[in-house]
Each structure stands twice: as C-alpha cells, then as structure tokens.
Amino acid sequence: MGSVKVENLTKKFDNVTALNDVNLDIKEGEFFALLGPSGCGKTTTMRCIAGFESPTSGNIKIGDKIVNDLPANTRNCGMVFQSYALFPHLNVFENVAYSLNIKEIKKGNIFTNMKTYGRMLNGRFFKYPKEITEKVEKILSYVELDKYSNRLTSELSGGQQQRVALARALVMEPAVLLMDEPLSNLDQKLRHTMRNTIRKIQQDLGITTIFVTHDQEEAMSMADRVAVMSGGEVMQIGTPTDLYSNPKTPFIADFVGTSNILKGTVVEKASDYVVVKTNGLLLKSYLKTEKDNVDIIIRPEHINVTKNVDTNSIANILEGEILVSTYLGSIVRYDVKVGEQEIIIDTTYKSGEGIMAAGEKVNLVIDPER
Ligand code: ADP
Ligand code: MG
C-alpha cells in the first residue's frame, strides 16, 4: 500500500520551526507536488517521510502503518535528489544494481546463476546474480539508458545522470517515490522533456510519487494535486486548476501563475455584487465578500484590451495607456498604466495580427465574474 499520510507534523531544529502542523493525505498512485519558495520546508517534509529526520511531533503513515520509529531503509521509499548522488567511480549498471544487490545479500539469498557483467576491475569481472542483472537491464531500457550501462556516470550528461538516479530508485520497486527538486540542475529544454518522461513512467507504474519543486509551472504541469507551502505551513492543497482558479490568498494567486493583485476597499455591497475602490478606480465584482478591505486578484488572461469598446457592456471598463508590449510567441503581454496602477494583460496572439505599441491609449474590459 503506497498511500502517505502526514498528520500534524511539526519539526523543530533547536529554535527554528521548519514545519508547523503540516497535514497531507496522499492517495495510492497519486502524483503529488510540494510547491513553495526556498526554505519553506519542502525538503524537511520529504526527509521526515523518508525517515532521515524524526518528527518533533505528529505522525507519518505509509499505507496504514505509522512509520515514525521505522528506520529509513525499511520504509519502502525510493528517493531521488537534486544532486543525483550517484557513485562516480561506478558505471551506470553498477549504480543501479548497487542497493538491490546489497538488499539481496542482506536477505541471505544465495544465487547460483551468476552472470558476468560490466567491466574488469583489478583483473576481475564484476558478477551479479542473473535475477538482479535482468531487473537492472529492464529498468535501464525503461529509462532508455540500456546502451549506456558500461559508462561511468561521471561521463554522462545531466539528463542521463538524472535518469540513472531515477532508475536506481525504481529498481527497488518502492511503494513511494520521493523526488526532491530532481530537475533543477537541468537546462530548460531538458527539464521539459524530463517532465514528460517522469510523468509517463509514474503513470505506467502507478507509483505514489511526491515531487518537490519551487517551480510552479513544473508542479502544475505534472501533478494530480499540489500542496503550496510557505514558512513551514501548508497554505492550500488542490488540483492545479483549483489552485489557479480559486486561490485562497494573494500569496497563492501570485505563486501559482501571474496575477494582478490590487488592494481595495468595498464601497458598495449589493445583493449580487460589490463595488471596490482601488487606487481611484471603481471595480464591480460578482464575487461576494463580507469584508471591507479586500484584495482584488485578476489573472492577466481575464482582461480584454481593446481600442473600441461597447459602452453598453455591463463589464468594468477602464481607460489606460500601454507602457510595454512584449511578444511571447503565442501570447502578447501588455503592461498597461491605469490611473496609478500597473496592470498586466495577456492576449492570445493570432499570426498576422498587429501588436499595440507603448504609448497607445486603450480600454481594459474586466468581466465582474472574474
Ligand atoms: P526547502 O526544501 O523548502 O527549501 P527546507 O526544508 O530545507 O526548505 O528548510 C526549512 C527550514 O528549516 C529552513 O529555515 C532551514 O534553514 C531549516 N533547516 C532545515 N534543515 C535544518 C537543519 N538540519 N538544521 C537547522 N535548520 C534546518
Ligand atoms: Mg529543499
């Protein structure tokens, strides 16, 4: 059983509270991401689950079992680190076979059918049991490294090293796969490819996976659900679309995607709308609130920018001036000055269309639903 429960987990290092009452309920087979800025407690959470740190208070459950007092090597968690932590003096095959071999030796299994494998060292070939060799070969072909099994890991590219680290964790057939910023050392393009590779392998194997990242795009594109952390606490848990469309706080809205966040005061409360005053602007919203001081959060793609506007529209219409326009391929981003406020707008770019330039006067149209 590969479900993971973290219950009221608090972890203190002397007087630093790294985690404060963290609760997570990760389902078997789920791809779950921990997302948050550096220092928010992601690694500490992972280390508590893996068994490298013990909780100050609270419980870690894997399956139905409380594992607080179990040593790391009995928790059935595979771990992939940002640094890969490979053995540079061993080749790819040996790196992947290493822990599996030790596990079998510890179990006291006696294999009679040894298969010579790999390279000579001190005049002798390494030998591994046939069963281990087959498992390693299978997993290496899975991560498309079968042709590299004789290479020293120090001779591999970053992406290949990353896949060795992944193979080494997977070959142990863990119930839970823990990955701590596994893509951070790769260049942008490779990171995108590896996202797909990891996601595909995770889905094929159906292995419960906890994936740590500070990169919101990575978390949102890969995970079934995401927990956003800040200052040792979980701020919100949800599917990527939940978090994006219903952020509970400005912090989440800002961290998960780009947002225009305007501080305002409610000046009118009607039965089906409110009017908020922000920096001299009046905005109508169908999202209701009882509060007087509010944050208005508008996604850049939820604002229309136009030269001619239907003045009968029930939407919010604001007058502004373009400060910067940035062509980003499929979208054009406009920074528009509206009164004292700067607002970011993303519009889909259709090939052949004109792009408005800095200094042009425009109208912004904001749907009160948004
Ligand atoms: P993240 O992985 O999100 O960057 P960490 O879990 O590594 O964050 O760290 C969370 C907090 O706990 C930080 O303030 C960090 O300095 C502190 N911390 C982590 N490990 C230790 C340790 N072994 N001793 C003291 N403080 C630590
Ligand atoms: Mg970390």
How far is ligand 1, taken at its centre, from the CA of residue 42, in Å? 8
**43: in domain:** yes
Q: How high is the pLDDT of residue 111?
A: 65
Per-residue H/E/C for 261-305: EEEEEEEEECCCCEEEEECCEEEEECCCCCCCEEEEEECHHHEEE
Same structural domain, 14 and 60: yes
What number does the ligand 1 atom closest to the CA of 40 have? 3
Same structural domain, 290 and 324: yes
In which residue ranges of the chain is pLDDT below 50? none
CATH of the domain at 304: 2.40.50.100
What number does the ligand 1 atom closest to the CA of 44 have? 6
CB neighbourhood size of 31 (10 A): 21
For ligand 1, whether the C-beta of 41 sits within 6 Å is yes
Angle between helices 158-170 and 92-107 (to 10 degrees): 20
Same structural domain, 48 and 187: yes
Q: How high is the pLDDT of residue 230?
A: 97
Q: How high is the pLDDT of residue 202?
A: 93
Given a contact cutoff of 8 angstroms between Cβ atoms, the answer to whether 9 and 59 are in contact is yes
What number does the ligand 1 atom closest to the CA of 45 have? 6
Same structural domain, 58 and 192: yes
**137: in domain:** no
How far is ligand 2, taken at its centre, from the CA of residue 38, in Å? 7
CATH of the domain at 238: 3.40.50.300
Nearest CA to ligand 1 atom 10: 41
Q: How high is the pLDDT of residue 3?
A: 97
Q: How high is the pLDDT of residue 117?
A: 60
Nearest CA to ligand 1 atom 7: 43
Q: Looking at 215, 245, 275, which one is the last position of a domain?
A: 245
Angle between helices 130-142 and 92-107 (to 10 degrees): 140
Q: How high is the pLDDT of residue 123?
A: 58
Same structural domain, 234 and 262: no
Same structural domain, 194 and 337: no
Given a contact cutoff of 8 angstroms between Cβ atoms, the answer to whether 286 and 370 are in contact is no
Q: How high is the pLDDT of residue 299?
A: 93
**274: in domain:** yes
**250: in domain:** no
Q: How high is the pLDDT of residue 27?
A: 97
For ligand 1, whether the C-beta of 34 sits within 6 Å is no
Q: Looking at 211, 245, 279, which one is the last position of a domain?
A: 245
Q: How high is the pLDDT of residue 127?
A: 73
How far is ligand 2, taken at its centre, from the CA of residue 80, in Å? 12
Q: How high is the pLDDT of residue 211?
A: 97
DSSP sequence for 62-94:
ETTEE-TTS-GGGS-EEEE-TT----TTSBHHH
Q: How high is the pLDDT of residue 312?
A: 73
Sheet (strand 293-298) strand order: 281-285, 274-278, 260-269, 293-298
- Number of separate domains in the chain: 2
**155: in domain:** no
How far is ligand 1, taken at its centre, from the CA of residue 234, in Å? 15
Q: How high is the pLDDT of residue 110?
A: 67
- For residue 212, give its domain range: 4-76+174-245
What number does the ligand 1 atom closest to the CA of 34 have? 3
How far is ligand 1, taken at its centre, from the CA of residue 118, in Å? 40
Same structural domain, 234 and 312: no
